[in-house]
């Protein structure tokens, strides 16, 4: 279902610009009101089903920020986007627990609004753990995070936090106080980094004492950032947003180094990096293993006849079928061109044969439409289920079976 964004803006220039940018960059439908009355009418027509609100401070029929109170009363995370700047206005806006307060200084400020919208749309899927033995401070941080609708977990000390992390390994951020009984925040950070790298979890340390010494200890122990108590709401949100952005950038760059750009499958290099570890573990645990090599039949003819764009579409169809057919614990990689390789552990020979034959049939029934043309896709598959001395030997044997399948007419599975 397409997300709904509420835009309340009486300026035609900014209203048009913001609406067009949001709808072009997100899968969202923007409902635009230019007054309090129009906003009320939208709520009467569509209910409270808005993912986020982007609100002006002053409207023709609500000149003192009444629109902010009205929209927030519907539990809709809201960004105030206004040209009004004064201490009174700022205090009023932040007292109502908005997502952020953005000034209309220049057209580029729209970019910041868009970045905030991106965070809010992701927030419900972003798990954050707050660790503090002080109920008051813990609740303060939790309340700030609730404004942006993050999925929040709580712990009163380091040991409890580690237990929560063990139960919820998909937590993406830990915000921890320093002074706590049993295990302080720096000790907790050290323990977390034993199992959670910087590409999977961000950590923000918080303390009211110690100054730069505590900050440095947190960072050296693996924290992403540090905040001194008391902190401004704006500073808190900036640090959380920046840390989550950094986490996503690290994960993105890691994916770029391990994934094939066209199919999003693992690339050849990462197949060997991960494959050697999986192979050694499987042999050590005496589990059955399989290596399969898959090649698209007559692929050069596809490129020569229909063009490389059509060839890319054929590769994607095969890649998607492979990704959907194997388990998350299997390694599915594009080796280059039209060739793929799969490593699967703990799979019995009969099951492997049935699976590969099913994949061959699924792909054989697939067609790629290019203009008025329909391209029939088939693959040849060679597999090795006989454990050899190394992963490389299993790949060589699967390659030999692949070429034998090609020699025997293609569109078939051969296993040794």
Is the peptide bond prior to 328 cis by the omega test (within 30 degrees of 0)?
no
pLDDT on residue 212: 77
The structure tokens listed for 314 are: 């054929």
Give the CA distances from residue 142 to residues 51, 64, 201, in Å, rounded to whole numbers and listed in that order: 20, 29, 18
CATH domain 3-114 topology: Rossmann fold (3.40.50)
How many angstroms separate the Cα of 227 from the Cα of each of 131, 215, 219, 231? 14, 8, 11, 7
Q: Check residue 222 and give its pLDDT.
A: 94
Q: What pLDDT shows up at residue 211?
A: 67
Question: How many secondary structure helices (H) and strands (E) does the chain include?
Answer: 15, 17
Q: Residue 337 region, left (φ>0) first, then alpha (ψ -120 to 50), else beta? A: left
Distance CA 45, CA 51 (A): 16
**Spatial separation of the C-alpha atoms in residues 400 and 307, rounded to whole Å:** 29
pLDDT tens digit string along 164-203? 999 999 999 999 999 998 899 999 999 999 999 988 999 9
pLDDT of 303 above 70:
yes
Residue 120 — left, alpha, or beta (φ > 0 → left; ψ -120 to 50 → alpha)?
A: alpha
**Comma-separated ranges of CATH 3.30.70.270 domains in the chain:** 268-415
- Tokens for 336? 């280059």
Contact between 96 and 69 (Cβ < 8 Å)? yes
Q: What is the DSSP letter of 348?
A: -
Helix intervals (H) in 151-267? 158-167, 185-195, 211-221, 233-258
CATH number for the domain whose boundaries are 124-256:
3.40.50.2300
Q: How distant is the alpha carbon of residue 4 from its chain centre?
A: 21
Cα angle, residue 108 at apex, residues 105 and 113 outer, rounded to 5°: 90
**Cα 259 from Cα 212, distance rounded (Å):** 40
**Tens-digit pLDDT profile for residues 267-300:** 999 899 888 988 888 888 888 899 999 999 999 9
Residue 50 DSSP one-character state: -
Per-residue pLDDT of 117-154, as tens digits, reads 999 988 989 999 999 999 999 999 999 999 999 999 99
Please report, for residues 194, 276, 284, 331, 398, the alpha-carbon distance to residue 281 in angstroms, rounded to integers and kept in the order given: 21, 9, 5, 14, 20
Give the residue among 112, 116, 106, 142 at the shortest CA–CA distance from 53. Answer: 116
Strand pairing partners for 384?
Answer: 291
Q: How far apart are the first and last CA of the chain?
A: 47
Distance CA 82, CA 52 (A): 16
Partners of 111 in the beta sheet? none
Confidence of residue 1 (pLDDT cuts 50, 70, 90): low
Mean pLDDT for all residues in the chain: 91
Sheet holding 331-336, edge to edge: 331-336, 339-345, 289-296, 379-384, 413-415
Share of the chain above pLDDT 90, in %: 63
- The single-letter DSSP state of residue 230 is S
Q: Which residues contact 154 (CB under 8 A, 6 or more apart)?
A: 129, 130, 131, 138, 142, 164
Q: What is the three-class DSSP state of 411? A: coil
**What pLDDT, on the 0 to 100 scale, is given for residue 388?**
73
Say whether pTM exceeds 0.75.
no
- Tell me if 118 sits within 8 A of 48, measured CB to CB: no
Q: Where in the chain is the domain with CATH 3.40.50.2300?
A: 3-114, 124-256
Which of 243-247, 254-258, 328-332 is the least confident region?
254-258
pLDDT at residue 67 in the model:
95
How would you label 374-387 residue by residue, b for 16+ Cβ within 10 Å and e otherwise?
A: ebebbbbbbbbbeb
Task: Name the β-bridge partners of 300.
Answer: none
Specify the CATH class of 268-415 in words: alpha beta
Q: For 381-387, what is the mean pLDDT?
A: 89
Mean pLDDT comparison of 51-55, 287-291, 372-376, highest-scoring range: 51-55
């Amino acid at each position: 279902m397409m997300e709904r964004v509420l835009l309340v803006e009486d300026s035609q220039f900014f209203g048009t610009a913001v609406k067009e940018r949001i709808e072009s960059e997100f899968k969202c439908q923007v409902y635009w009101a230019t007054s309090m009355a129009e906003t009320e009418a939208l709520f009467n027509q569509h209910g409270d089903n808005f993912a986020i609100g982007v609100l002006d401070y002053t409207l023709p029929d609500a000149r003192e920020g009444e629109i902010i109170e009205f929209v927030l009363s519907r539990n809709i995370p809201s960004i105030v986007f206004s040209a009004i700047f004064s201490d009174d206005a700022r205090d009023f806006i932040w007292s109502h627990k908005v997502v952020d307060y953005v000034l209309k200084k220049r057209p580029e400020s729209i970019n910041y609004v868009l970045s905030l919208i991106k965070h809010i749309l992701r927030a419900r899927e972003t798990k954050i753990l707050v660790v503090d033995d002080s109920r008051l401070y813990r609740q303060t941080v939790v309340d700030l995070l609730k404004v942006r609708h993050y999925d929040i977990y709580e712990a009163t000390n380091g040991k409890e936090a580690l237990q929560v992390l063990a139960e919820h390994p998909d937590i993406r951020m830990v915000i921890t106080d320093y002074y706590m009984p049993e295990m302080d925040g720096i000790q907790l950070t050290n323990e977390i980094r034993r199992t959670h790298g910087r590409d999977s979890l961000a950590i923000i340390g918080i303390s009211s004492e110690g100054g730069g010494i505590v900050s440095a200890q947190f960072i050296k122990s693996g924290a992403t950032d540090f905040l001194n108590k008391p902190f401004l709401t704006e500073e808190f949100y900036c640090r959380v947003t920046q840390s989550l952005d950094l986490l996503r950038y690290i994960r993105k760059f890691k994916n770029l180094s391990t994934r094939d750009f066209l199919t999003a499958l693992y690339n050849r290099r990462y197949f060997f990096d991960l494959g050697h570890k999986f192979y050694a573990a499987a042999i050590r645990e005496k589990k059955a293993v399989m290596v399969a090599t898959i090649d698209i039949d007559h692929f050069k003819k596809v490129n020569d006849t229909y063009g490389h764009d059509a060839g890319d579409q054929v590769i994607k169809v095969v890649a998607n079928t492979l990704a959907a057919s194997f388990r998350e614990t299997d390694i599915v990689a594009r080796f280059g061109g039209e060739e793929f390789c799969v490593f699967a552990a703990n799979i019995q020979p009969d099951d492997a044969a049935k699976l590969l034959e099913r994949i061959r049939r699924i792909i054989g029934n697939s067609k790629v439409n290019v203009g008025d043309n329909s391209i029939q896709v088939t693959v040849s598959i060679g597999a090795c289920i006989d454990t050899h001395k190394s992963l490389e030997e299993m790949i060589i044997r699967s390659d030999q079976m692949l070429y034998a399948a090609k020699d025997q007419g293609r569109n078939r599975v051969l296993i040794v």
